Amino acid sequence: MTTPDDPGRNRLAAVELDESIGSGLSADADHERRIAIYDLIEDNSFTVIGHQSGPYRLSLSAADNRIIFDIWSEREERVSMIGLSLSPFRRIVKDYFMMCESYYKAIRAATPSQIETIDMARRGLHNEGSDLLKERLNGKIDIDSATSRRLFTLLCVLHWRG
């Protein structure tokens, strides 16, 4: 028997992105999207504040300069719909994309020390973005750092397409 405190309930069981996401992505961006979704489903901590009805199914989309978190229970009942402005993420996402582009170019031609330097900067921006996401979701959704990092990757894909 599971209880509302059961960690198995405080998680995402499924993650979907808007159907229009995927076409037009670079091979690298599509690869990052697929890995983030797989890793997110495998290991996450996700609780909608005030609702103990997990595990949850999350549908992410972008509309009107917002990222939409459409959250459903395993009984197919809507738990919450949260819209966050993408504006606070613009600078971080732009810088993160530039760093990713540099990183993908570097892994094809640069020295290991050059790749490591670029990767450290890329990870630093990713951490900054995931911290901002966690802060913006505070009081709405409780997530751990690893979950926030994976969700930030998906936010980047949606921001790029949105």
* Model pLDDT for residues 72-123, shown as the tens digit of each residue: 998 899 999 999 999 999 999 999 989 988 998 999 999 999 999 999 999 9
pTM: 0.86
Distance CA 60, CA 65 (A): 13
- Using left for φ > 0, alpha for ψ between -120 and 50, and beta otherwise, residue 101 falls in alpha
Query: Is 5 buried (19+), middle (13-18) or exposed (0-12) by CB count in 10 A?
Result: exposed
Handedness of CA 97, 101, 107, 110 (dihedral sign): negative
